[in-house]
């Protein structure tokens, strides 16, 4: 395939025709912004995406991504399979075309807010042709490459769950010039984990190999599930599981991704029904306790060998025992509490560093209902902490964000909003559990809306923007209201209804699949990359006091007495719905107190993708413009912030 570049009309909106330099990754230097109106959800920082075309070359039909007939395709061909690149580094975008006669490729790159960041035109000869754009970006975030032929028409084809018209990639934020890396006294102070494995390395396929790397470290996720359910480890009979170094999966042995140890499930031979079950207590408590004692012994050895700075081992006893869920509890409440008692006693006999947790119902409110019902049976005596799943509505999606019910005039409805539910849950913990008890949200995902499906024209850019904003807001509320660690669900699109839970598109399967090996990012992935870099390594200070209705804010302090990071946004149901669109432009002003009343200075503000700008403040307050996408304000006066927040009840993270 031969490409002749006859004209290069425009390569960048800001630097037409300028070649992209080869650079090393460097931290983003915050630009000075004096006008607070210039800091909506997407900061008006001095960020650029510069691309220049390289000499064309022949290419076989099928490049860059899959079988190509007449038309056009595009991809990011290099890298580690994540289609994510460090800020400031050089990378390639490849556009391939097959045309009957000479034509012109029109291309552009848009960000999560649908703002054009680069674009141009390229003449191509007839036949199979390929052009590479060599790019560098000083702006972090999600980007969608679009390309079409002026005469041949067409657009980029649908690929897996990714709709037609786009090929996506991401530029990773670097916040280290403002927030240097944290030193963790204990590894389990990391606050983000995930569900989902993707086999991105050459030669790997589901489900052999390391499905967590390179993806989890890049996303900033430090926790994953390690299944030690009895029905998995001893399916045929007792005493077949023995503690030893070989029980730990190889992908955990690097010690940088910690384990949440799952204990749910009873084997058929120990079940009252004669089948493996999650719905009933085991027939033999002695056999159950024997197995758990061996798991505790095993986990204690693993922690000492592979996770020496981890303070505790964390055990999750049950998984979504909701009566209307996929693993419903059908036994009595008394047997449920007895099973927790047996678990608590057996694990603690073997593992002096154990934290036994549950009940892990599907929604925050349902966890509260179960715990309240089981309190008279003394469930609290057998819980060192709580694991919950952080769902909060009839579908957690762009149309059902976590703040949807918060301003409802009916107090009963407003109590079901995510912030209110978490406050009640933490109040129960303070009354019932030991001081400083941990609260883990071990699954929370944001799908597309109920009733939608993957397709050529779905999801739209607006839906993708909205999903990314709601993913970040949901996990910020969880952490801000006193959750110690939260799991993002799911790494890439899966074949569930409603669709779209993934942070990444699955490029192999039209309806999604588990363990995909070809993925590309959504805005949600890049929002998570920014959030983890800014919020991991913090303790929660609390929610902002006296904010107007529709404004949300949570303050966090970096460990070891570091800087304060305050996440803020606004939400209004009237500007946020599928019928009229999820507004990326709705804004409200808000003045955040960051210092003493007589003080003036500057703060750094990061947008939802991790781009930085400097803003002046006067009389201790900085004037902000809030949108539906969160921003993060970095300040230094923790004392002033503590006077302006309410800490979660019983929270011991500090």
How does pLDDT run across 150-190, given as a tens digit for each residue? 998 899 999 999 999 999 999 999 999 999 999 999 999 99
3-state SS class at 594: coil
Low-confidence ranges of the chain (pLDDT < 50): 1-26, 34-40, 44-47, 58-68
Is 49 within 8 Å of 18 (Cβ atoms)?
no
Cβ-proximal residues to 431 (8 Å cutoff; 6+ apart), any chain = none
Query: How many C-beta atoms surround the C-beta of residue 595 within 10 A?
Result: 21
Please tell me the predicted confidence (pLDDT) of residue 29: 60
Spatial distance between the Cα atoms of 295 and 442, rounded to a whole number of angstroms: 20
User: What is the DSSP code (8-state) at residue 628?
Assistant: S
Please tell me the predicted confidence (pLDDT) of residue 70: 58
Please tell me the predicted confidence (pLDDT) of residue 64: 46
Cβ-proximal residues to 577 (8 Å cutoff; 6+ apart), any chain = 399
Spatial distance between the Cα atoms of 151 and 527, rounded to a whole number of angstroms: 37
3-state SS class at 429: helix
Tens-digit pLDDT profile for residues 460-501: 999 999 999 999 999 999 999 999 999 999 999 999 999 999
Please tell me the predicted confidence (pLDDT) of residue 1: 32
**Omega prior to 64 cis, within 30 of 0:** yes
Cβ-proximal residues to 551 (8 Å cutoff; 6+ apart), any chain = 544, 568, 569, 570, 588, 590, 626
Please tell me the predicted confidence (pLDDT) of residue 121: 93
What domains does the chain contain, in order, with CATH numbers?
46-172 (2.60.40.2550), 190-534 (3.20.20.80), 543-646 (2.60.40)
Spatial distance between the Cα atoms of 171 and 128, rounded to a whole number of angstroms: 29
3-state SS class at 489: strand
DSSP β-ladder status, 485-489 and 438-445:
parallel
The overall pTM is greater than 0.75:
yes
Please tell me the predicted confidence (pLDDT) of residue 35: 45
User: What is the DSSP code (8-state) at residue 525?
Assistant: H
Q: What angle do CA 605, 591, 464 make, to 5 degrees?
A: 50
What's the first-to-final CA gap in the chain, in angstroms?
61
Helices (H), 284-388: 285-306, 333-350, 364-374
Spatial distance between the Cα atoms of 222 and 535, rounded to a whole number of angstroms: 13
In 3D space, the residue among 36, 41, 115 whose CA is nearest the CA of residue 575 turns out to be: 41
Please tell me the predicted confidence (pLDDT) of residue 41: 53
């Amino acid at each position: 395939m031969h490409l002749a570049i006859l004209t290069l009309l425009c390569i960048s909106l800001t630097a037409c025709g300028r070649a992209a330099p080869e650079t090393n990754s460097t931290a983003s230097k915050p630009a000075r912004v004096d006008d607070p109106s210039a800091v909506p959800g997407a900061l008006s920082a001095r960020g650029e995406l510069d691309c220049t075309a390289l000499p064309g070359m022949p290419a076989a039909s099928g490049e860059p991504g899959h079988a190509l007939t007449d038309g056009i395709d595009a991809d990011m061909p290099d890298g580690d399979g994540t289609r994510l690149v460090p800020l400031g580094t050089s990378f390639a975008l490849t556009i391939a075309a097959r045309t009957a006669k000479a034509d012109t490729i029109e291309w552009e790159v848009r960000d999560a807010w649908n703002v054009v960041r680069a674009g141009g035109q390229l003449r191509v000869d007839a036949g199979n042709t390929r052009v590479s754009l060599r790019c560098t970006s000083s702006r972090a975030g999600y980007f969608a490459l679009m390309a079409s032929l002026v005469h041949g028409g067409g657009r980029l084809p649908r690929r897996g769950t990714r709709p037609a018209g786009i090929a996506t990639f991401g530029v990773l934020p670097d916040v280290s010039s403002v927030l240097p890396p944290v030193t963790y006294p204990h590894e389990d102070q990391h606050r983000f984990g995930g569900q989902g494995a993707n086999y991105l390395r050459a030669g790997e396929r589901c489900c052999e190999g390391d499905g967590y790397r390179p993806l989890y470290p890049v996303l900033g996720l430090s926790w994953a599930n390690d299944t030690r359910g009895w029905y998995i480890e001893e399916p045929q009979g007792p005493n077949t599981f023995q503690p030893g170094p070989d029980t730990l999966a190889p992908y955990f042995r690097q010690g940088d991704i910690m384990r949440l140890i799952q204990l749910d499930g009873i084997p058929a031979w120990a079940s009252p029904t004669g089948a493996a079950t999650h719905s009933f207590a085991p027939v033999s408590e002695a056999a159950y306790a024997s197995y758990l004692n061996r798991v505790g012994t095993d986990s204690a050895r693993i922690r000492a060998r592979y996770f020496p700075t981890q303070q505790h081992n964390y055990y999750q006893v049950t998984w979504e025992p909701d009566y209307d869920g996929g693993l419903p509890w059908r036994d009595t409440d008394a047997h449920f509490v007895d099973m927790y008692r047996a678990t608590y006693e057996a694990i603690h006999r073997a593992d002096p560093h154990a934290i036994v947790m549950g009940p892990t119902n599907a929604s925050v409110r349902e966890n509260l209902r179960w715990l309240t019902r089981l309190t008279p049976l003394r469930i609290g005596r057998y819980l060192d902490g709580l694991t919950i799943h952080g769902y909060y509505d009839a579908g957690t999606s762009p149309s059902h964000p976590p703040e949807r019910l918060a301003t409802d005039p009916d107090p009963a409805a407003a109590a079901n909003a995510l912030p209110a539910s978490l406050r009640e849950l933490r109040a129960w913990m303070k009354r019932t559990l030991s001081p400083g008890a941990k609260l883990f949200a071990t699954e929370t995902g944001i799908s597309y809306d109920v009733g939608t499906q993957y397709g050529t024209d779905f999801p739209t850019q607006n839906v993708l923007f909205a999903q990314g904003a709601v993913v970040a807001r949901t996990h910020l509320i969880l952490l801000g209201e006193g959750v110690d660690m939260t799991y993002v669900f799911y790494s890439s699109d899966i074949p569930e209804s409603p669709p779209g839970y993934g942070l990444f598109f699955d490029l192999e399967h039209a309806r999604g699949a588990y363990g995909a090996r070809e993925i590309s990012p959504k805005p949600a992935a890049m929002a998570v990359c920014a959030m983890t870099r800014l919020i991991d390594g913090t303790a929660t200070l609390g929610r902002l006091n006296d904010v107007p209705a529709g404004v949300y804010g949570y303050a966090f302090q970096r460990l070891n007495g570091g800087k304060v990071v305050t996440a803020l946004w606004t939400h209004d149901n009237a500007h946020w719905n599928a019928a009229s669109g999820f507004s990326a432009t709705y804004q409200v002003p808000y003045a955040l107190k960051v210092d003493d009343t007589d003080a003036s200075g500057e703060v750094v503000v990061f947008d939802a993708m991790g781009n930085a700008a400097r803003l002046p403040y006067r009389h201790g307050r900085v004037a902000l413009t809030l949108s539906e996408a969160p921003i993060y304000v970095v300040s230094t006066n923790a004392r002033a912030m503590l006077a302006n927040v309410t800490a979660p009840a019983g929270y011991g993270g500090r």
